[in-house]
Amino acid sequence: MLQQLIISNFATIESLNLEFNHGFSVITGETGAGKSIMLDALTLLMGARSETRLIRHGKDSCNISAVFTTTPDSPASKWLTAQGIYNDGTCIIRRVLNRISQDNKCFINDQPVTVTSLGDLGQHLIDIHGQKDHQALLKLPAQRASIDRRAGHEPILIKMRETFREMATVRQSLQQMASSQQAVADRIELLLFQVNELDEFTPLEQQFNALEQDYKRLANAAELGEGMLQVADLLAGDSDNSCNYAITTAISVLNRIQRYDDQLRPHTFQLQSSSDQLHEIANEMRRHSESTSADPESFAKIESRLNQWINLSRKHRIAEVDLPDLHQKLAEELGSLQQAHTAPESLQLRLSELEKNYIQLANQVMNNRIEASSSLCEAVSEQMQLLGMTGGRLEVEIHELPEERYSENGIEHLEFMVTTNPGMPPGSLRKTASGGELSRISLAIEVAAEGASLKPTMMFDEVDAGVGGEIAEIVGDRLRSIGNNAQVISVTHLPQVAAQGHHHFRVKKITDLEASTVHTNVRQLTGEQRRAEIARMLGGRDITNTTLAHAQELLSKAI
């Protein structure tokens, strides 16, 4: 429920702080006084597009805030929780407009948010019906929205729309694939040749370096064998020049003299260990020399593979060590393209599945709409009798569209048909209803469509336009009856409607010619003040005892 509205430097309002209560609140004032400014301010808080012209003349910025109370299980509270916004039952929405920077700042409970977020939250807090909304009812989408609101099948609608959009995406993908199939086929053919060639060769990681080492070893086998035998002889040969001969001689000398110095004994052990290691190395050299004998057949195989490796690398213009990576990348690209090349088949299957799902959902939506239309027409027709259209009734024309006209909104054409006089055949609402009748039908639809689940706050801007007398009194009575269960705020110029309000606010424009300024003042009326305002609305500038008595009579009827 809207609890408080605070406005500064917006349009002709310099400063305004209003508190609202549960029930039916009316806003009255002279023509041009600015009765609709508060509605415009709330519309901005609900995410409407802003304009710098709305900032009060001579000011750089304007600030609009609204305080709403929410219940823990309300859609608004659930939305706040889902967005991670602190919620203690009070929701404060604030919007700041700047003239110079044209910067929009939006806040929910002091947390910065986007304008879109304001709109998302606003749809859970308040229904705003401006004067243009009566004309919007002439448009088929608004009529469909009224039926859908009555049907209460939003989850199915969302699923149907998502399915239709995915269908459109899949169809577009199929069209794009059809135009690029030849290019894909050519690339697949080249990749098949390249990957098959590399599959047959099978280059492995680190294998090229190993091949180079094997090639060098086999190409120089004789020199390697001779060199290793020479090393073995130098380390542990029989000649006096070998390392082992020198170490053995040193050990013999140490053995002879260590009896004179025990500190020499560890060195004897170290030299003996060195001698053993030299013998081990020498033996390894001799064994390795025997294994490196020339093997023409192995050498030819390694040389051939090495040459193939080098030629393939040059063919693909990469370094030899990168050939295994290239092999893997080409194979992955081939697999991806082959999958994409066959994707039309899988996409076609997906499209068929989506079309089947869409038809099922759309038929369910259409059946829901037919059922909701029946109950809505009955409820609206009943309201029309109360609003002075005796014998009038609302009907909904629904018929299935040809397949090429299916859309995300469904498979049927839906249009309001109305008759406002008994005995007359129903005609299109767009062609049949007058301005005054349209406003009353709009009110009847809103009352009927929202009857099951009223939003916390509903605001109407001159929903009584084009009516008067007894009908105006009935309109006021209907708004008051809604206000018994919800918060209703209505801008009105009719005393019959104003008298029905539980609460009354008067808007007055104050012009200071000397200062060349205009101010809009809003104050809540009670008692005699309210009776005087109703009298003004009845009789104009000159308030007589008769108009005061008439005003009192209207107020008494509302009790």
Q: What is the pLDDT of residue 31?
A: 78
Q: What does each C-alpha distance from 348 to 170, 343, 354 come to in angstroms?
A: 8, 8, 10
Q: Whats the size of the chain, residue-wise?
A: 559
DSSP letter for 402, please: P
Q: Which two tokens stand for residue 234?
A: 């130098």
Q: How far apart are CA 263 and CA 267, in angstroms?
A: 8
Which amino acid, one-letter code, is at 286? R
Q: Is 435 in contact with 420 (CB distance < 8 Å)?
A: no
Q: What is the pLDDT of residue 341?
A: 60
Q: What is the pLDDT of residue 387?
A: 79
Q: What are the domain boundaries of the chain? A: 183-341
Q: What is the pLDDT of residue 452?
A: 46
CB-side neighbour CA atoms (13 Å) of 270: 6
Residue ranges in the chain whose pLDDT is less than 70 = 102, 130-136, 176, 178-181, 290-294, 339-343, 435-436, 449-455, 465-468, 514-515, 559
Q: What is the pLDDT of residue 5?
A: 93
Q: Is 377 in contact with 397 (CB distance < 8 Å)?
A: no
Q: What is the pLDDT of residue 237?
A: 75
For 466, other C-beta atoms within 10 Å of its C-beta total: 16
Q: What is the pLDDT of residue 423?
A: 77
Q: How, if at all, do strands 23-29 and 503-512 pair? A: parallel
